[in-house]
Structures are given as structure tokens and as C-alpha cells.
């Protein structure tokens, strides 16, 4: 039986690199975490729980979403939601010539529609404690590259939705967005497998001369969620090692 005094944090994409860090950091801060992901995983301690859920189906199938909302509420056991973190994302790469309707549908369902619908579903639980919704966006919302059309568009829309929700919800629930640059996850490392020189080049593109860590994203989310920053609302925060300030011109 969870401690009734604990705050509850719901995290989507809980099994990924950033998701795992979010779960751990909020767990260490004495939150009870409800992790959501489409793959099997486990969360231990603090009365926390893990729910296997397909967010694309959640966005597309109302009956499925109703069932999943009931599962989340069963885990909440009548408690409010202090923090809801939309971290799950689909990254389907393809050029303008290649992207299909199915690619766009999958991208927007996971990256945009599911975050809205889950926020809407849990709004009563969030509002009870003037909770915090955090979108984990991406630098691709502002600065992107070829083959990221669908992903970059969805992340730009996610940041826009964060601002619009802040205006629409007013003081009822705070909504903010974190936009990281390159973060050292298993997915990033796999993409540079056997290419150490390209990985070093990526590090060098950031003024800090390094890649960000998942724990840094999680610590920023925790800071946003805690009570000391109640005036932070509708904001988009760059966590990018300074790369968005760089102008890459030939010398």
C-alpha cells in the first residue's frame, strides 16, 4: 500500500534512456512513480508501478484509452497526480519524398495527440494539487536537419501545445516544455556505433564540448515540478549545451 503522503509522478516512455532517468530521479526524490511504456519493464520501490501501454493505440482507439485510463486510476488509488511527464516519442525518419500517411499518423499519435489526451484524462487528478505537466520536446522543434520532417514538426507542435495549454488552463495546472539537444542514450550510442570520429564531432558541435546526460533532463524536470518555480508556466526551456546559440559558418 503506497504512502498516502507521497506525491505521484506519471512518466510515459519510462523504459527508455531519458525515461529511466526520470523514473530514478523522481523515485529518489520520494515520489511514487507510475511508469508507462509499450515494452515490458519494471519499477521497484516507493509503491511505484509500471503499466504496459501502446500510446499510438491510446490516441487512435477511444475504447482502449478508456480502459487504460481506468488502469491508471486503479494505480492512483484515489491520489492526485502531482507531475505528468510526456516523454514517450516516435522518431520516424524519412525525406519529404518518402514519408507516408502511416508515418505521419504514428508520429502525431504518439508525439502530440497522446500527450493531449492523457493530460485531458488526468486533468481532475492534476487540478486537485495544481499539478505540473512537462513535455519532453526536442531541439528539432527549432533546429533540425534532413529526414526529420515528421519528427521535427511534431515536436514544434508539442511546444506550441504546451504554451496553448498554459493559457487555456490558467492557474489550474502548470504546463512547461523541455527541449534537449543530443542526450547520451542507448539509441544515440547505437546510431554512432563504429563511428567514434562522428560522435566526437557531435560533441564538438556543442559549446560545452560534450553530450547531455539523461539525468540532467530528469533533474530539470524535477526542478520545474517542485514548488519553488510556481511562476514558470507556458515556458520552453532549452537544455542544449549552448548549441542553439551557434552559427556554423565557414571560417
How many domains are contained in the chain? 1
2 lies in some domain: no
Is residue 247 assigned to a domain? no
- 151 counts as catalytic: yes
As a whole number of angstroms, the longest Cα–Cα distance in the chain is 63
pLDDT score, position 46: 73
Residue 249 counted as domain residue: no
Q: pLDDT tens for residues 33-43?
A: 999 999 988 77
**Is 182 part of any domain?**
yes
Question: What CATH number has the domain bearing residue 57?
Answer: 3.40.50.720
Domain boundaries, position 50: 8-237
Strands (E), the chain: 8-12, 32-37, 49-52, 83-86, 132-136, 174-180, 236-239
Regions of the chain where pLDDT drops below 70: 1-5, 250-251
| Model pLDDT, residue 1 | 43
**Residue 123, SS3 per DSSP:** helix
pLDDT of residue 53: 97
Residue 3 maps to a domain: no
- Residue 145: its pLDDT value, please? 92
Instruction: Report how far Cα 217 is from the mean position of its chain's Cα atoms.
Output: 10
Q: Which of 31, 58, 151, 199 is catalytic?
A: 151
- pLDDT of res. 71: 98
Q: Is residue 50 part of a domain?
A: yes
> What was the pLDDT predicted at 43?
79
pLDDT of res. 165: 98
pLDDT tens digits, one per residue of 224-241: 998 889 999 999 999 999
Amino acid at each position: 500500500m503506497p504512502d498516502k503522503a507521497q506525491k505521484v509522478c506519471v512518466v510515459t516512455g519510462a523504459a527508455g534512456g531519458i525515461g529511466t532517468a526520470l523514473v530514478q530521479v523522481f523515485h529518489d526524490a520520494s515520489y511514487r512513480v507510475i511508469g508507462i511504456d509499450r515494452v515490458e519493464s519494471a519499477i521497484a520501490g516507493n509503491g511505484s508501478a509500471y503499466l504496459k501501454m501502446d500510446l499510438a493505440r491510446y490516441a487512435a482507439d477511444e475504447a482502449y484509452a478508456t480502459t487504460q485510463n481506468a488502469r491508471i486510476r486503479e494505480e492512483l488509488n484515489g491520489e492526485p497526480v502531482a507531475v505528468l511527464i510526456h516523454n514517450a516519442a516516435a522518431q520516424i525518419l524519412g525525406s519529404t519524398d518518402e514519408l507516408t500517411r502511416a508515418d505521419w499518423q504514428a508520429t502525431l499519435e504518439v508525439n502530440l495527440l497522446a500527450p493531449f489526451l492523457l493530460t485531458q484524462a488526468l486533468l481532475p487528478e492534476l487540478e486537485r494539487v495544481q499539478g505540473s505537466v512537462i513535455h519532453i520536446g526536442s531541439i528539432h522543434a527549432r533546429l533540425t536537419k534532413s529526414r526529420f520532417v515528421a519528427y521535427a514538426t511534431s515536436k514544434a507542435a508539442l511546444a506550441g501545445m504546451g504554451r496553448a495549454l498554459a493559457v487555456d488552463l490558467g492557474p489550474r495546472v502548470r504546463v512547461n516544455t523541455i527541449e534537449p539537444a543530443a542526450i547520451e542514450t542507448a539509441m544515440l550510442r547505437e546510431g554512432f556505433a563504429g563511428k567514434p570520429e562522428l560522435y566526437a564531432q557531435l560533441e564538438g558541435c556543442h559549446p560545452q564540448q560534450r553530450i547531455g546526460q539523461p539525468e540532467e533532463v530528469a533533474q530539470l524536470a524535477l526542478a520545474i515540478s517542485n514548488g519553488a518555480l510556481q511562476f514558470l508556466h507556458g515556458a520552453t526551456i532549452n537544455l542544449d549545451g549552448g548549441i542553439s546559440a551557434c552559427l556554423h559558418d565557414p571560417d
